[in-house]
Amino acid sequence: MKYSLVLITLLSVTSFALDQQTKMGEPACPNEYALSVPVPPSNPVEQQDVLTVQQPLLISVVGQGVAPVNTTSPAQAYALAKRAAIADAYRLIAEKVKGVRIDGKDLIKNMMVQRSTVKTSVSAMVKNANVVETTFKEGLCEVEMEITLKRSQFPQ
Quick: pLDDT tens for 119-148.
999 999 999 999 999 999 888 999 999 999
Q: Which has the minimum average pLDDT: 31-40, 48-57, 67-76, 85-94?
A: 31-40
For all residues of the chain together, what is the average pLDDT? 77
pLDDT tens digits, 91-104: 999 999 889 999 99
Name the pLDDT band for 16 (thresholds 50, 70, 90): very low
Q: Measuring CA to CA, which residue among 124, 134, 127, 133 is closest to residue 148?
A: 127
Residue 72 has pLDDT above 50, yes or no: yes
Residue 68 has pLDDT above 60, yes or no: yes
Q: Which has the minimum average pLDDT: 31-40, 64-73, 109-118?
A: 31-40
Instruction: Please tell me the distance from the alpha carbon of residue 15 to that of residue 12, in angstroms, as a whole number.
Output: 5
Which pTM does this prediction carry? 0.62
What residues contact 61, with CB distance under 8 A and at least 6 apart? 89, 92, 93, 96, 144, 145, 146
Residue 30 has pLDDT above 50, yes or no: no
Amino acid identity of 105? K
Amino acid identity of 54? Q
Instruction: Please tell me the distance from the alpha carbon of residue 86 to that of residue 68, in angstroms, as a whole number.
Output: 15
